[in-house]
Structure 1
Amino acid sequence: MNKKCVYTVITNNYCDLNDNNIKSNGWDYICFTDNRNIKSKFWKIIYIDNNSKNEIDHIKLSKEYKTQVLKHLNKYGVYLYIDGRIKIIKDINEYLKRLDNKDIVFMKHRQKSIKDQFNVIVENKYDKKEIIEKIKERHKEFGYEYNNGLIEGGVILFKNNERVKKFFDDWWFEIKNYSHRDQLSANFAIFLNPELKYLITKNPIYDSPKYFSLLKRKKSRFKIK
C-alpha cells in the first residue's frame, strides 16, 4: 500500500494517449481504455469493455473508472488521476507534498460554485435543463448551500482510505443517476462527506503550469442535441 499510481481513462476515442510525460520515481502509470489500438511504452494499458449506446454512456463509463478506481485497482496507497488531456511536466513527488495530512487534493475551478455552472451548462447545451432542475431539487432537499467552492476534475490526488472511498461512491452515485458533468456533482459529494479531509488548490489547471499542462481536444466538447 506504499506504492503510488497515476491513472487516466480514455473511452470513445476521446483523446490520444500522451506518452510525453515526466516520469517520477515510485509511481506506476496506468491507462484504462476501450480502444484496443492504443499501445504505449510509458503507460500500462488495461483494456475495458464498452457496451455504451450513446455519447452520455461513453462519458459515464469513463467517469465510473475515474471515481471507482479503488474497486478496479486497489493495490496502491496513493493515486493521482489525470484527464487524458493532461500532460505531466514536473516531478509529481513534489506535488504529492500537498496531500500531507489531507485525504484528497483537487484543483480549483475558475468559477466559484455549482450554482455558477447551472446557466453555463444549460446555455451551452452541456446537459438537459430537466436534469439541472432535478439536481437543484436534490440539493434543496439536503440543504446544500453552494458554499464549498468548485473543483476542476482533471487532476485529483488522493489516498486509499475509507473516507475517500465513501466520497467517490457518493460522487459516482450523482454522476450515474444525474449529470455526467463533474462540476454538478463533485462539490455536492464533498458536502455529503463532512469527515473528508480535502484541499482545493489556489490555482486551476489552466493557471498552474508548474506541474501540469492542458493539451488540445481531439474531439469537440459534447453537447446535447
Structure 2
Amino acid sequence: MEMTAGKIHTAEVASEVCNETFEIQYYLPKNFTDLYKHNVIITFDSQDFFKYGQIERIYQKLRVDEEIERAIIVGVPYSSVEWRNHYFSPNGEHHENMVTFVGRELLKWIDSNFNTLNMANSRVLMGESLAGTFAFSVALQYPTTFPNAVAFSPFVDDAFIERFKSQPNLLQLNLYHTIGLEEDDFKTIMGEQADFLTPNRKLNEFLETEPLEYEYRELDGGHIWKTWKPELESILRHYLA
C-alpha cells in the first residue's frame, strides 16, 4: 500500500457482503507517521470532499496549529449518479449491503492498515446530499461503532425519518445536520425539481426532542459545495478539537 504522507491515494477493498470490490481513497496528512494513533474521518462522495470541499487542506491548516487531533481521511467515491442511487440512497437496492460493508469490512480494512485509535468516538462519518443520508444510515445501523455523523443537505423522506424513530440507541449519537435555505425548490443532479428544506426541517423537529448530541444549522445558500465547504472547519473542530 502507498503510504506517502500529504497525498491522496487509492486502494481496492474487496467486499464479501456486496460481492464486489470497491475503490477507496485515503489521505495521509503531512508529517504522517505510524508511531502515533489517528482518528478516522470517513467521507462518502469522497472525490467531491477532496476536490470541492478541499477537506485535506482545511484539516492540515488546523493541524499545523495543533487545534485538532491527528486524523487520516478515508473516502468512498461514487462512480456515477446511478451508482449513488443504488448504493447511497436509503431506497436503493444495494443500500443495506453497502451500510454493512462500511460498518464491518471497510472498518476492519482501515484498522488493519493504519494505526488508528480504534474507538467509536475517534471516527467521524461525512457526506452531502445522498451521501449525507448514507452517513446517517451507517450511524443509525452502528451507533456504538460510528456515533459521529455529518450530513450536508441529506435526502430525507418519511421512511427515512421512521428509521430514526425506530432506533432505540439515539442517545449514542453525535450528529451534525445542515440544510440550505434555498433548497425548498431546486433541480437535483438527476434533473428533477425537489424540496429538501421541508423534509429536513421535519427530521430536525423530531431530533430536537431526542436525547442525543445534535447540531442543526440552516445555511444561506443552495444544494452546492459553496454552501457546505465553509462548515468543514467548524465540523473538524467540533469532533477533533
TM-score (norm 2): 0.26
Which of the pair is proportionally richer in strand?
2
- Structure having the higher helix fraction is 2
Q: Which has the higher contact order (CA 8 A, sep 6+)?
A: 1
Give the TM-score normalised by structure 1: 0.27
